[in-house]
A and B are shown apart, each in its own frame.
Chain A
Amino acid sequence: MLPFLNQGAQSFRHGIHPEDYKAMTRDMPLERMPFMEEVVLPLRQHLGAPSVALVKPGEKVFRGQLIGEAPAFVSANLHASVTGTVKRVEPHHHASGKLEEAIVIERDPYSPQSLYGEQKIDWEDFSPQELIDHIQYAGFVGLGGAAFPTHVKMTVPEGKKARFFIVNAAECEPYLNSDFRILLEWTEAIFLGIRISLKILGAERAYIGVETNKQEAIDRLREMMPSDLPCEVVPLVTKYPQGAEKMLTDAVLDKEIPSGKLPIDIEVLVNNVGTVAGIGQYFSYRQPLIERVVTVTGPGIKRPANLIVPIGTRLSDVIEFCGGLHENTRQILFGGPMMGSAQRFLDVPIMKGTSGLLFLTDQEVFPREEYACIKCLRCVDACPVYLNPSRLGLLAKERKYEDMMEFHILDCMECGSCSYVCPSNIPLVQRFRVAKGLLREKMAREKAKQKA
């Protein structure tokens, strides 16, 4: 049975209610960032195998031209985000903290930067597979942050089907407004993206999950909704981590996804609203994934904004465009404050998965003293996947990583709710990440040994 969709806001169980801090950039319309002299396009911007460079230094490339090809199915194509000349293909600082191969393109200062091969695609007559091929060509990945290749997600495995398509517009991370602005300004593209997605999946119904702190967006979506589109807007209680696809499925359809399974196992497919809008735009004027919406916000930046940034623009260029930093800026995050990753260098490029840039000052970021666990179990009430972070934290502190498997540590999605609510400032999620990393390495070693 479907839940009663229009009776008030819905949600999942557990989770936390952080202050949303969205007012800073909430009412700022999308603004186009100019093309910088140089862009850096890392070959690894998605989950899976890094793409392979198709261009050599000295070659001319056009905005929207394919410059990196996916070597495997779970990978994504890469397109030039400016017209110019390839200067280098070299290891460059990457948001992950590693050095990754990247294509550096110097902008042609005399180019009008028009789109390569711009045209409308008549998609109505395409078969679902042709539509997926187009999405694969355009290099789409999940724009919510994890950057999982979209064509892989949209290819429903044999024996399974997708009855419901959910557009993820929860945007539960505090500070970020990129999805909110997309909902307001690219509404038509979203509807087109939903139409195409429904055709690919053969799904019977689409839902757009929006948290109630974005009431304008809910109103606008309802007002503009084409009458022939089997789509419903579902208002959700403002709660973190509602944007995680498992939580969102639970909130929208009241269906729980079992441990170790994906939404497709219960006939649901979830895509981020940015991805859906991007697909709509691609089919309207053939623009591959070469730019994205980024919220630049936080008390550390002089001029917060919602920007459309060409992918590959350096962090330092965005800072300069936004008026520079306040002196007490202490931390720069790619993404939101809950799951974002801190940056070490200012020359890292904006990537396909970068939903926001957050600049925090020493008012927000300061070392906190860790106290002993008082077993208050606030973390247990917060954990959206029903783990026992308190117990896991004690095991992790003693580095008993093997024992943590018994408590299902690998189900942890590192949302950080446990660390957020802990009154003793125990770095729970940080320890879980260490444990998960070590356990995964160990499992990989054992697998390799078994093979040999």
Chain B
Amino acid sequence: MDLISALLFLAGLCIALAIALAVANRWLKVEEDPRIDVVEDALPGANCGACGSPGCRAFAEKVIAGEAMPGECPVGGPEGALYVASILGIDAGSVEKKVARLLCAGGNDVAVQVGEYEGYSSCRAAATVAGGFKGCTFGCLGLADCEVACTFDAISMMPNGLPLVDLEACTACGDCVEACPKGLFKIMPVRQKLIVQCRSILEGEAVTDLCKVGCNGCTRCAADAPAGLIEMEHNLPVIDPNRPDLQTEIATYRCPTGAIVWMEGQQFPERHRALKGTKESEETDRAV
């Protein structure tokens, strides 16, 4: 008897709740724009926050509301933005490919180390101990905080201790910018080809004694470049990002240390080829 009454009770409860759900579905439904789901499906779904919204759905809502352009999602890239734009029949906005660039070229083959660090293997931990073990106060410490932080596996550490950003995989989400304690990453459009791979504010031998490829603040690039492109600030050339038309490789020709470079796409291209190529080439690269 007890058994049957229990079964009946549960069955009754199920039916009552089912009716409540049915009523809620029929009468209490919140109308939502069906396009939000479509756009969300079209987005990469990484929920990385690079667009400034808390996730892909929030971004989709903004796009539908006209508060954001599809091109503002850096992860989807130009194709993704155009796809979303075609679904909605709107303008994609600027769909320029952006990428994270490392503003340091001082690997352990060219930069001096003045200390030994044997603690917790993290750039940020090393940086809190007297700024790290490197001679240069501004340079990359090479303990791979950025590699760990990268959501898209776009960063791998090279044999010389510097991180390599894969141009194809990088979505310019900015994780590495936040992770680096030295602030060495900068998100730049790929068309920005003239790049200073150094952040040292020192000048002359104070720089070159510590790193062979650091910028010594000689100002030759600023003199050689078209007027108005390069300004010197704290012994570093600052390239005006709003004048891509003025960019020229000539600015790099007389650089005594090679700190300013002309970058066609991939950063550190030889290392990238070696790392992505066969194992043999990786070994030869180490030997070099």
Q: Taking CB as reference atom, which chain B residue is nearest A426?
A: B120
Determine whether the beta carbon of B119 is less than 8 Å from that of A91.
Answer: no
Shortest CB distance B117–A (Å): 9
CB distance from B210 to the nearest CB of A (A): 11
Q: Give every chain B residue within 8 A of A430 (Cβ-Cβ).
A: 119-120, 125, 128
A413, CB-defined interface residue at 8 Å: no
A32 close to B (CB within 8 Å): no
The answer on a CB contact under 8 Å between A434 and B118 is no
Please tell me if the beta carbons of A344 and B131 are within 8 angstroms of each other in the complex: yes
- Asked whether B122 lies within 8 Å of A343 as measured between CB atoms, the reply is no
- Chain B, interface size: which category? 20 to 34
User: Which chain B residues (84-129) contact chain A, with CB distance < 8 Å?
Assistant: 114-116, 118-120, 122, 124-125, 127-129
- Measured between C-beta atoms, what is the minimum distance from B264 to chain A in Å? 33
- The closest CB in chain B to the CB of A397 belongs to B120
- Given A99-B202, A399-B148, A437-B124; A341-B119 close (CB under 8 Å): no
CA distance A96 to B137 in the complex (A): 11
Looking at the complex, which one of A344, A433, A437 makes contact with B132 (CB distance below 8 Å)? Answer: A344
Instruction: Output the nearest chain B residue to A445 by Cβ-Cβ distance.
Output: B178
A427 and B119: CB pair below 8 A? yes
| Contacting residues, chain B, for A98 (C-beta < 8 A) | 131, 137
Q: CB distance B133 to A427 under 8 Å?
A: no
Interface size class of A (residues with CB under 8 A): 20 to 34
Interface contact B122-A434, CB-CB below 8 Å: yes
Nearest B residue to A344, CB-CB: B130
Q: Is B36 an interface residue when CB atoms closer than 8 A count as contact? A: no
What distance in Å separates the Cβ of A249 from its nearest Cβ neighbour in chain B?
28
A441 contacts across to B, CB distance below 8 A: 178
List the B side residues contacting A260 at CB < 8 Å.
none
- With a cutoff of 8 Å between Cβ atoms, the chain A residues found around residue B202 in the complex are 91, 99
A433 touches B133 (CB 8 A): no
A437–B131 touching, CB < 8 Å: no
| Complex: A431 Cα to B122 Cα, angstroms | 9
A97 to B114, CA, bound (A): 12
Q: Are B137 and A97 in contact (CB under 8 A)?
A: yes
Interface residues of B, Cβ cutoff 8 Å to A: 114-116, 118-120, 122, 124-125, 127-133, 137, 148, 178, 181, 201-202
Q: Report A's interface with B, CB cutoff 8 A.
A: 91, 93, 95-99, 330, 341-345, 366-367, 399, 427, 430-431, 433-434, 437-438, 441-442
Known: A95-B130, A430-B128. 11 other contacts (CB 8 A): A91-B202, A96-B130, A97-B130, A343-B130, A344-B115, A344-B131, A345-B114, A430-B125, A431-B120, A431-B122, A433-B128
